[in-house]
Amino acid sequence: MDARTVYQNLERWQKETALLGSIAGVLGWDQRVMMPPKAAPHRAEQLALLSGMIHQRATDPRIGEWLSDLERSELTQPSDSVTAVNIRQWRREYDKLTKLPTELVMEFTRVTSLAEKVWEEAREESDFRLFQPHLERIVSLVREIAERLGYATEPYDALLDEYEQGMTAQEVERLFEPLRRHTPELVAQIRNAPRQPDTTILRRHYPRAAQEAFCRLIAERIGFDWQRGRLDPTVHPFATRLTPGDVRITTRYYEDFLNPSLFGTIHELGHALYEMGLPEEHWGTPMGASTSLGMHESQSRMWENFVGRSRAFWEYFYPIAQQHFESLRDTPLDAFVFAVNAVQPSTIRVEADEVTYNLHIMLRFELELALMRGELQVADLPSAWNERFKAYMGFTPPNDAEGVLQDVHWSGGMIGYFPTYSLGNLYAAQLYEAAERDLGDLHAQFRKGEFTPLLEWLREKVHQQGQRYSAKELIERITGAPPSAEPLIAYFQRKFAPLYGV
Ligand code: ZN
């Protein structure tokens, strides 16, 4: 068989597996958005059956044979051609799946699904000791997984690579270092600033129907295509692409707090626009998929914070907001813009503002790294958490529920995931700077309600590239510089110094 035919066989096989995955995606969306509670046990069986079928297909030995043939063919050249990228990324995926023995995967699934239930209970009772033995088991399993997957320098690299291809612990340490030096100082300046925002503005009465109408209007003006997507309410918001013509976002509404629906929607919209912008003809292959979690987060953060929290954005949208919400009619634009940009150290990561958010991430990254390096024992995690938290934020969390127990990630075995949130912020700042170099004054465009130039720029530079390059390579190609914290630090300074008058 010639290489072209082998490639077509493999591509057909992988696209069918992707189709099965998209069926699971529809069931998963339904489970989180629509399904009545009593459907849960049967739905779990449906999803388990599908995921078993998908796993079996994804680890079929024929894939290994096809790949070996292809790797000796001319289809791997040039290295950034569609076929070369797909072959390289299919290999990566296949190796990851087949390097782990089935017993290890099953044990990991068993331990983490039990741990998630215990974690919920532990968090409710704010009692870390309940969760401790489960986390100890998870850390040792994750270490074994890292050994099996292999790494260049240290086990954490293998975990990170799952979420952010090619990124290493050392590089994340290097990237976070300037943020660690600058952020606490900026936060202290802001705390002692002469001007402070009135955040009660956002806690007035905001009728749900008006919130929904306003969120839809924003999504549409920015570029969300209702022919290819939906917006629905849910408890834990997310974005998901089921097929190229079906990208769905979700949000939540609180009538006494405007932020969650508003900025939650813009955040998920950023994720959705990435998914809508991926090359449709490559759907079901790596060339048609997003390149990393960090890059994904850069898109959501850019629309949420760099665009959606800018004064220029609100110069355009605020009069419309005032038509929607009676609560805002007597509030001047500047008071509103200041309120949505309030910086306030808090215990809970998911409620953090864009400046202190990275401190939450650094804290988790440092603890994960110490755990994986064997420098920290799980039993000592709560005290290590509180110590570091105090050093970064200036106070200690009142209890473990609002401290070490607040996130679901570790109970699910997701160690190495947290850094991608802050990498997203770093990438967003770098991309935004580069976009402004290419497109001129973006704020002048936002003021007129023009978001298409930025969206089209992102489509061409980021979305259309699929997995052609890793996030790290893509940032370097687009911006001319490797990943760096400097643009984010400069952006914070530029934005928050005038707001707070510091
Ligand atoms: Zn996100």
pLDDT in tens, 127-169: 999 999 999 999 999 999 999 999 999 999 999 999 999 999 9
Q: Name the percent of the chain lying above pLDDT 70.
A: 100
Answer whether residue 212 shows pLDDT above 90.
yes
Final residue before a domain boundary, out of 105, 123, 150: 150
Identify the band that residue 78 occupies on the pLDDT scale cut at 50, 70 and 90: very high
Cβ-Cβ contacts under 8 Å for 298 (sequence gap 6 or more): 423, 424, 425, 426, 427, 428, 431, 471
The total number of structural domains that make up the chain: 2
CA distance 327 to 44: 43
What is the reported pTM? 0.96
Q: Are 231 and 216 in contact (CB under 8 A)?
A: yes
Same domain for 258 and 366, yes or no, is: yes
Cβ-Cβ contacts under 8 Å for 131 (sequence gap 6 or more): 115, 118, 119, 122, 405, 411
CA distance 63 to 90: 9
Same domain for 482 and 359, yes or no, is: yes
Q: What is the extent of the structural domain holding 352?
A: 169-500
| More reliable by pLDDT, 40 or 477 | 477
CA distance 348 to 400: 11
77 Cα–ligand 1 center, Å: 34
The answer to whether residue 47 is domain-embedded is yes
pLDDT digits (tens, 9 = 90+) for 228-276: 999 999 988 999 999 999 999 999 999 999 999 999 999 999 999 999 9
293 Cα–ligand 1 center, Å: 9
297 Cα–ligand 1 center, Å: 5
Query: How do 246-251 and 229-233 pair as beta strands?
Result: parallel
Q: At what angle do helices 169-191 and 381-393 cross, to 10 degrees?
A: 50
69 Cα–ligand 1 center, Å: 38
Same domain for 204 and 143, yes or no, is: no
Q: What is the mean predicted confidence (pLDDT) over 347-356?
A: 95
Cβ-Cβ contacts under 8 Å for 257 (sequence gap 6 or more): 202, 203, 206
Angle at 47 between CA 42 and CA 50, to 5 degrees: 130
Residue 303 burial (CB count, 10 A): 31
Q: Are 261 and 252 in contact (CB under 8 A)?
A: yes
Name the active-site residue from 268, 275, 304, 354. Answer: 268
The answer to whether residue 162 is domain-embedded is no
18 Cα–ligand 1 center, Å: 22
Residue position matching structure tokens 């409620």:
351
270 Cα–ligand 1 center, Å: 8
Residue position matching structure tokens 């127990």:
405
Same domain for 127 and 234, yes or no, is: no
Is there a catalytic annotation at residue 268?
yes
pLDDT digits (tens, 9 = 90+) for 162-197: 999 999 999 999 999 999 999 999 999 999 999 999
501 Cα–ligand 1 center, Å: 30
Strand partners, 254: 257
Same domain for 19 and 116, yes or no, is: yes
List the structure tokens of 31. Answer: 């489970």
Q: What is the DSSP string of 261-316?
A: HHHHHHHHHHHHHHHHHS-GGGTTSGGGS-S-HHHHHHHHHIIIIIITTSHHHHHH
Q: Are 302 and 270 in contact (CB under 8 A)?
A: yes
List the structure tokens of 86. Answer: 């797909």
Residue 277 burial (CB count, 10 A): 21
Same domain for 94 and 179, yes or no, is: no
437 Cα–ligand 1 center, Å: 26
Same domain for 113 and 241, yes or no, is: no
Q: Are 474 and 462 in contact (CB under 8 A)?
A: yes
Give the model's pLDDT for residue 1. Answer: 84
